[in-house]
Structure 1
């Protein structure tokens, strides 16, 4: 009888093992009935298998019944039901059961930790790991892999480093399971050098290791190395499957598209698109040519690199397509600023029976907005039945980029009226528009709305609020908001510094910058740009040179934006030699850089040098803009280069496609006036479209005073009397011209006319610097001029 019972017991165990492997619930129920009939519930190992069977089949209720019916439970029984709850995602039941366990082992902790990670509760998983260590348990490879995954999601490299040290101590750092999770953690946290070291420490890396390294290298813009990693994977005979191919195609897509040329992969010898073409060939060779997912990845790669002809060819030859395929084509044409083709693809998509989804509409909207076609974007948006907040954000961004801030406010109001809850992006955009329009009252209303959505903790919204209040002249409110944020990021600091500079509180901006450095906050190019603008207003260059030293130390000396600000600062100090020296050292210059240097020469009257620099700029193929021509024409005016100024003005529209504006005509009229070329000046006045602007006539009147041209001065003054009746300048200038020629009666008549018209003279003033504090003294002497006396 005992022999028969033992035989039945062994047979049942074998059958249960087969049912667990096959997840055969009906057969398992029959075996459970057999166990009950034979009275084998006293066999704990057999009962454990029953719990495992129901757990494998997802029947947690049956698993719990089997657990409760087991008379003699051991740690494995408890772990079996705990595993059932964890696998089903019933975390509360798992937590209650875990707390009630009379005995735990590493398997118990691993179940809980891995389940928390799978369900997105990474912080709780790390806390559970700490409790496990506190209880004296040594983690296994499964424990460490789960904790490394949690650290990846949390971007918590410090906890990850601690686990890494423990892995080395217990000899698990070379385990492939732990090693892969470790290098993934370092790669996700942006510590790519640590990830590379972890990869090299693996004695036998597998395809997961290589794929993780490819992703990590691509995320840190080391695209060439990521592709080389794939090549190494191929050379070492690793199995290349659809996942590997999809990963490397994603790497080739990360190079991006530049209109002037195809970006090279991180400075390597081959372009990203060439690498992608090679992977495309390998994909076909390995027999994956009909795989829709991979074909979508190929289309994405070509589209991201701007080769829409190849993307079109792949698309036309596909035997089947999905919504993803259509969306990729629409996004690709949007990436090339071809909104018409993007919209046509969306229409074709509908003709073929595919319904556009949210991603389709967003891609189409982005295509229109990036192409500057906001009107078409508005038509697409109007066709959406229930646009989400992301679609609203694209429209808000489109109107903001086209400087249509009124429409931004209208759309935001409509968005609220329809009950669409704004997010941080919506709030930041509307706050930027309020700042641009300086509409304080509406900005306050948006502030109130932001408190409901994001509270006081969102630094992205906080930065927008600081900018809005600063632009509206409410700098104290901006400071108050800054001080209320519990944890500031660099964007908030930058916004506050820019606001202080905007409100002429340059010393406070410098103090804030120093405070930011003391708190070990690393400045960005925006921080340094603002500080250099601030330093350019100081009388002494000492602080500016200190900031320059910090820029070099922090590695921003080659940044084109920071470099342009440095050139501007040295030019404002009048230190043209240092400005030019730094200008020549810059490895890359943009239009702004050239403009600053040309304007610097113009400020100190170095006309020939400014014109030569302008000609160098043209010869090097740099794009000019209206600011370029203001700078070089100003230089011509200050340097008396009349012929060069006329030639440059005539070349603007014809050679460079830049329409001359009022500022350009003012510069050339000033140039002609300074040189006494009044006949040419009058000819020019008759043909320009800005005859009714007072600034033009003020410049002419000032030139007439220098050269005592009474007739033209009288004409300019009459124009100004008509265009700007309350301006005292034309009366005084004309009276001074008469006085300088001894024509006292006419001078007196002009002053009487000024008194009769009740025109008040703006008071003169003096600046007195007393122990570095500026004191201003107003006085009403009509002949008073601005003075600066240093004590």
Structure 2
């Protein structure tokens, strides 16, 4: 009672006076402290319970402590609690397993969370929901949705929380079709009136651009809360319905709706050019009266609102009055200075940010580069760009590169800007070429301008910037015929220039104007005044004509009939761009023959963001995630095989489904087949004889079942074999030991059984990574693995391996990571492992009985886990 009422002092006093205590009383006290966030005291009492000889902890003790663990800094505690659960046998308890899954996901350890999930023999709805929700909360949306579909076809039925997690994944993926299907199911199951479900559905439709559908759900809701109102306001704002958002907000205020900080932040996001600043000031006054003006989210919104409305000093006052500032606060204020051209104040604020111990983000550097561009600090700007990678390990985005080009262009260094673009390690996009073309427009550089226009035409052939900037360049040089031809081309191909518009607020009313507007109710008056101040105003009838751009001359013979491209990933493919070698993801060899197709989807996918930082398993290919969760959908076409010179087919982290066409297995020059993280299904074809030059086969994290066909052994030059994260359910064939150049064998998280083949050590001199975790492998670790002298990673956790660890493991002098936890090993730990001098991570957690002596290792590892109790 005292704990539930928050009277913890009284609870402790009563606890210490109790003549007889039991596990329930210990658990109540521990839970009371943890629920109010007092982790130190709560963990302290748990340690006392562990050290007690009179009392024993139970599953409730473990779940209480696990429920309080969240954040990377507590991951070590969760792993120790996991080890304690294994020692005590409570890991078999489904409630403890569910708590472990939730805690691992909250500590950002997806792999460990999923390991626990797959180890639970009888999963209930809480188990499934914990995993689906955890993946969604960690932005692994595709995995979350795939797991939901797996649950949907299992004997366990989803509940409201499960559907809520799945809808979160749909929002993250902007998966309209799946979201609509779940909408139909929740209506059928009677969950449609649940407030959280309604808010999640509105969020899905808003993120997918279907504001009308989101509004229908909002209007039909019987009860509304601050979350649902915030979602619909944010939906209007994100989709350009600023006026509708402000009108709705005013109605909410007049109706007496409860206004929380998130709702205020959402509505402040619509303010800027064209929005009523007076309404923004009224909102500021209102939140001040309500006592939430000091909330960090509200303050961040106010900073942006004043800045976008032209009131820089209003932003400064809000920022300086904040008691607590987060990264967004600093970034917003630096961006405000940069937006208003006050670069020196932006740079000075960045110094203060560093002194305050706040780490910059990529958004910080984007604003700093804008600032340096406006004040002409070229050297400082280039230092910022370099420090992103060198000091903070951030990869610059195209927006950063475009800022640098703009910075050089403003200084008149057009040739240097061109050289900078050509020296980039990544292919520049339209934004970068627009920046160069815009600079050429300012300085009238025809040569560099034409070059930039050619490149922009390849990157974004429908961009009006291409024609408008070229026309401006020709105008500045007096090349009127060229200007006229450019405008004519623009009109003939149907490219429309974005209409210029302006707004002015008079007496709390917004007046908007567009270029050549003749339907404005005061249009005649406006033009009458223009004739007074401008001797020859440009009227609508005087607009120049346009002409079409050049016809396409080359087309790739690939069939796109089975590919869906809702995110316009392949927008550069087609007749508007004559150079197929410049199309997205296409690389050519001699004679413009297609040599590589490399399209990596899933830019907001956590797995893609992590993996794409590194070359493909040490191979030469880098995979650059597309932004905004963009991807291609559909099925692979057999027509791909018609590209007879194709060496690389890399389409990871998209949503390709169905089986791999048989024709692809006969592509004689193919060296890399990389389809990781798709929805590929079916069994592997039994005939691999045509892929004799294959070096990389990466089909990880799909839905492939069955086994590895013996014909795979024909691919003798294989260097990387990854089939991890599928549903392979046979044994590991001995022929994997026949690949003399194999550097990585990745078969983790399947349903593989049987023993690890001894042949694996036959030709493994080049093997660096051996990953077989999360299967049902039995027997012991073959001593022949010691022949893999270059092995750096050995992952065998979560199997059914037994016997003793072989002493020959000590011969692996290059070994850096070894995890053999969650198996059934016994006996002593061989002291020879201490000879692995490169070892930095050693994970040995098993149900050792008795506990082995670890002092014989004599090493200093970053992680030693032996399933010991929490200390």
TM-score scaled by structure 1?
Answer: 0.59
2:384 equivalent to 1:603? no
2:4 equivalent to 1:215? yes
- Give the Cα separation in 2 of the matches to 1:654 and 1:302: 44
- Give the Cα separation in 1 of the matches to 2:176 and 2:448: 46
- Give the Cα separation in 1 of the matches to 2:487 and 2:210: 41
Shift of 1:726: 4.0
Matches within 5 A, 1:305-704: 314=50, 320-324=56-60, 342=78, 346=82, 349-350=85-86, 353-354=89-90, 356-536=92-272, 538-704=274-440
- Give the Cα separation in 1 of the matches to 2:36 and 2:191: 37
The verdict on how the C-alpha distance between 1:478 and 1:416 changes in structure 2, with shifts beyond 3 A counting, is same
Q: Residues 733-761 of structure 1, C-alpha deviation per residue, up to 9 Å, x if partnerless?
A: 33432442234566577678x47x96444
The verdict on how the C-alpha distance between 1:759 and 1:782 changes in structure 2, with shifts beyond 3 A counting, is farther
- Give the Cα separation in 2 of the matches to 1:486 and 1:625: 42
The verdict on how the C-alpha distance between 1:681 and 1:240 changes in structure 2, with shifts beyond 3 A counting, is farther
Residue number in structure 2 paired with 1:765 = 499
Q: Which has the greater radius of gyration?
A: 1
Shift of 1:375: 3.4
Shift of 1:666: 1.0
CA RMSD of aligned residues (A): 3.6
* 8 Å Cα contact 1:652/1:658 also seen in 2: yes
The verdict on how the C-alpha distance between 1:744 and 1:567 changes in structure 2, with shifts beyond 3 A counting, is closer
The verdict on how the C-alpha distance between 1:377 and 1:659 changes in structure 2, with shifts beyond 3 A counting, is same
- Give the Cα separation in 2 of the matches to 1:768 and 1:737: 25
TM-score scaled by structure 2?
Answer: 0.54
Shift of 1:633: 0.9
SS of the aligned residue for 1:765 comes to coil
Q: Residues 312-344 of structure 1, C-alpha deviation per residue, up to 9 Å, x if partnerless?
A: x94697885544455567667766566577467
* 8 Å Cα contact 1:601/1:607 also seen in 2: yes
- Give the Cα separation in 2 of the matches to 1:661 and 1:722: 20
Q: Residues 256-298 of structure 1, C-alpha deviation per residue, up to 9 Å, x if partnerless?
A: 3xxxxxxxx6xxxxxx63xx3xxxxxxxxxxxxxxxxxxxxx6
Shift of 1:248: 4.7
Q: Residues 406-463 of structure 1, C-alpha deviation per residue, up to 9 Å, x if partnerless?
A: 3333222222211422222212222223233333333222122112334443111111
2:34 equivalent to 1:253? yes
- Give the Cα separation in 2 of the matches to 1:737 and 1:537: 28
- Give the Cα separation in 2 of the matches to 1:740 and 1:587: 51
Q: Which has the higher helix share?
A: 1
Matches within 5 A, 1:232-251: 242=21, 248-251=29-32
1:721 is aligned, of 457, 461, 465, to 457
SS of the aligned residue for 2:499 comes to strand
Shift of 1:494: 1.8
Matches within 5 A, 1:175-324: 212=2, 214-216=3-5, 218=6, 226-229=7-10, 242=21, 248-256=29-37, 273=40, 276=41, 300-301=43-44, 314=50, 320-324=56-60
The verdict on how the C-alpha distance between 1:598 and 1:683 changes in structure 2, with shifts beyond 3 A counting, is same
Q: Which has the higher strand share?
A: 2
Shift of 1:560: 0.6
The verdict on how the C-alpha distance between 1:748 and 1:336 changes in structure 2, with shifts beyond 3 A counting, is closer
- Give the Cα separation in 2 of the matches to 1:742 and 1:457: 66
The verdict on how the C-alpha distance between 1:445 and 1:515 changes in structure 2, with shifts beyond 3 A counting, is same
Q: Residues 187-214 of structure 1, C-alpha deviation per residue, up to 9 Å, x if partnerless?
A: xxxxxxxxxxxxxxxxxxxxxxxx53x5
Q: Residues 629-682 of structure 1, C-alpha deviation per residue, up to 9 Å, x if partnerless?
A: 111111111232223212222222233332222111111210111011235434
Shift of 1:526: 1.0
- Give the Cα separation in 2 of the matches to 1:548 and 1:685: 44
- Give the Cα separation in 1 of the matches to 2:20 and 2:254: 51
Q: Residues 697-734 of structure 1, C-alpha deviation per residue, up to 9 Å, x if partnerless?
A: 22112112222333322322232233334445334433
Residue-pair matches, total? 517
Residue number in structure 1 paired with 2:802 = none
- Give the Cα separation in 1 of the matches to 2:220 and 2:455: 54
- Give the Cα separation in 2 of the matches to 1:566 and 1:456: 35
Residue number in structure 1 paired with 2:466 = 730
* 8 Å Cα contact 2:330/2:353 also seen in 1: yes
The verdict on how the C-alpha distance between 1:231 and 1:750 changes in structure 2, with shifts beyond 3 A counting, is closer
- Give the Cα separation in 1 of the matches to 2:110 and 2:446: 53
* 8 Å Cα contact 1:334/1:342 also seen in 2: no
* 8 Å Cα contact 1:727/1:759 also seen in 2: no
* 8 Å Cα contact 1:566/1:579 also seen in 2: yes
- Give the Cα separation in 1 of the matches to 2:242 and 2:492: 38
Matches within 5 A, 1:77-226: 212=2, 214-216=3-5, 218=6, 226=7
- Give the Cα separation in 2 of the matches to 1:342 and 1:246: 18
Instruction: Give ranges in structure 1 of 5+ residues lacking alignment.
Output: 1-210, 219-225, 257-264, 266-271, 277-297, 304-309, 786-791
